[in-house]
Chain A
Amino acid sequence: MTVAEVQASSGKFQRRIQGRNAREYVASAVMVVFFGFEFWRDGDLLVRIGFALLIAGLCYLAWQLHVRASWSPLPKDAGLSSYVEYKRRELERQRDALNSVWRWYLGPLVPGMAVLLLAFFRANPGHLKHPAFIVVPEAIFFAAVSFGIAKLNSNAARRLQKEIDELDEES
């Protein structure tokens, strides 16, 4: 492969990576459009604040996914790192991302969800007499899903730590 060929391939390769990464953000984009529609449709200020917070949370989440999980070409200094060093850095990065899902994956959605629950609560004063029937199951469901995601990620992080330990033993 000549330099000219590699330069041409490099351009195509970058576009392929960008296309692949872009597909990963489609789900977030669909949700943003949906919440945006709800934001535009609903006249209640609190509901609109809730959807605005959810949209902001989703955008932050998509950006974090891009930073932490997007597929990128090998770093330019790859020749300076042995496989063990390179792999260890990659595994540590993935482990830290999995261990901190509360901060960057689940946390950003909590304010929006909380405000929307509050808005629902306020818009249905009849439920104030029996708030437990409405708010508690929803809150429990949201919390259970969140804890489930966090638990799965925590288990995956432990598996990565095991791989790191194995690498350390080998080197």
Chain B
Amino acid sequence: MIDAEDRRDSRFEEAAAAYGPALERLARAYEADPDARRDLVQEILIALWRSLEGFDGRCSMRTWVYRVAHNTAASHVARQMRIRQRVFVGLEELAELADTTEGEEAAGHRDEIALLYELIDQLKPLDRQVMVAYLEGMDAASTAEITGLSARNVATKIHRIKQVLARRFREGGRDER
């Protein structure tokens, strides 16, 4: 029993060291409010620590960590949706939506990272996961393993993400339409 707990603790320390910064970025993609984000990171780490008791190597540590993190964050988003009555869109709708930027003045005041997170914040959890994985440099197969989407569907979504990003970041964040 003590051995199992020690194993879990040492796995957690390794995972927290290796993926800590990535988990912070992931939380940023799911929660814009800094206080709520701190809670979310904490919730993810607790969920990860609890889950590692059952880690049996059937998938890689990275896949395990991201699955736990995304599932925790998606539950967080679902709770926020109920509380704040928010509605999220898919990548298809995001590509179609007019940019909310109010002209050059607003564009000039926002940096690209803020704009990126603003885009991510509008997405449904599944599309948000694909976008976060893409920005973390994961390939389609790894993203498919974490999300449960088919690799083909992931590839399609990544193609749309690239289109959305290209359109939104063209000319410093202004939509050309």
Number of A-B contacts (CB under 8 A): 99
B74 x A171 contact (CB < 8 A): no
Q: How many residues of B contact A (CB 8 A)?
A: 40
Q: Which of B9-17, B26-34, B115-123, B169-177 contacts A (4 or more CB under 8 A)?
A: B9-17
Q: Is the CB of A170 within 8 A of B71?
A: no
Residues of B within 8 A of A71 (CB): 79
Inter-subunit contact A78/B72 (CB<8 Å): yes
Give the distance in Å from the alpha carbon of A95 to the alpha carbon of B100 in the complex.
35
* A125 within 8 A of partner (CB): no
Query: Smallest distance from the beta carbon of A23 to chain B beta carbons, Å?
Result: 14
B147 touches A84 (CB 8 A): yes
Q: How far is the CA of A3 from the CA of B5 in the complex (A)?
A: 11
- Which residues in B have their C-beta under 8 angstroms from that of A10? 46, 49-50
Chain B interface mostly = helix
From known contacts A73-B50, A84-B149, infer whether A78 and B71 are also in contact, taking CB-CB under 8 Å.
yes
Given contacts A13-B42, A74-B50, A74-B72, contact A79 B55 (CB under 8 A): yes
A10 and chain B: residue at smallest CB distance:
B46
Which of chain B's residues have a CB closer than 8 A to the CB of A114? none
Nearest CB of chain B from residue A66's CB, rounded to whole Å:
18
In the complex, the answer to whether B46 meets A9 with C-beta atoms within 8 Å is yes
Closest chain A residue to B6 by CB distance?
A3
- Indicate if the CB atoms of A13 and B68 lie closer than 8 Å: no
- By beta carbon, the residue of chain A nearest B56 is A80
Contact A78 B42 (CB under 8 A): no
Contact at A6–B148, with CB atoms within 8 Å? no
**Is the pair B47, A73 in contact by a Cβ cutoff of 8 Å?**
yes
- Return the contact of B68 from the options A7, A74, A87 (Cβ within 8 A): A74
Known contacts A1-B16, A1-B42, A3-B12; is A82 also within 8 Å of B49 by CB?
no
Residues of A within 8 A of B163 (CB): none
Q: How far is it, in angstroms, between the C-alpha of A83 and the C-alpha of B145 when the chains are bound?
A: 9
Within 8 Å by CB of A83, from B46, B53, B147, lies B147
Known interface pairs A1-B20, A1-B42, A76-B51; 9 further A-B residue pairs with C-beta atoms within 8 A, sorted by A's residue number: A3-B9, A6-B45, A10-B49, A79-B52, A82-B147, A84-B149, A86-B67, A87-B71, A90-B75
Binding site for A on B (CB under 8 A): 9, 12-13, 16, 20, 42-43, 45-47, 49-55, 58-59, 63-65, 67-68, 70-72, 74-75, 79, 125-126, 129, 145-150, 153
8 closest Cβ pairs, A-B complex = A82-B148, A84-B148, A79-B64, A74-B47, A3-B9, A6-B49, A86-B71, A10-B46
